[in-house]
């Protein structure tokens, strides 16, 4: 997953009442792309949804 999040500079320069909103986003961990919006940097992560189903069924008709 690649997402644009507020840059460190945007967080630092944000008004006090908006800092909580900016802090709700993860910190950027990748450089800004050439076409990214101003005051954003990239956050890159990998998602994993492992699952395993062990099921047993027994049916008895009489």
Each residue's pLDDT tens digit, 1-60: 889 999 999 999 999 999 999 999 999 999 888 888 899 999 999 888 778 777 888 889
Range of the domain at 35: 2-44
Position 50 in a domain = no
Task: Give the count of domains, the chain.
Answer: 1
Determine, yes or no, domain membership for 13. yes
pLDDT confidence of residue 4: 93
* Cα distances (angstroms) measured from residue 36 to each of 7, 8, 9, 25, 57: 11, 15, 15, 16, 52
Task: Indicate the pTM of the whole model.
Answer: 0.68
Contact call for residues 47 and 3 (beta carbons, < 8 A)? no
């Amino acid at each position: 997953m690649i997402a644009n999040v507020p840059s460190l500079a945007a967080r630092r320069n944000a008004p006090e009442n908006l800092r909580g909103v900016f802090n709700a986003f993860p910190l950027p961990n990748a450089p800004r792309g050439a076409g990214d919006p101003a005051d954003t940097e990239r956050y890159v992560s990998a998602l994993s949804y492992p699952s395993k189903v062990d099921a047993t069924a027994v049916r008895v008709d009489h």
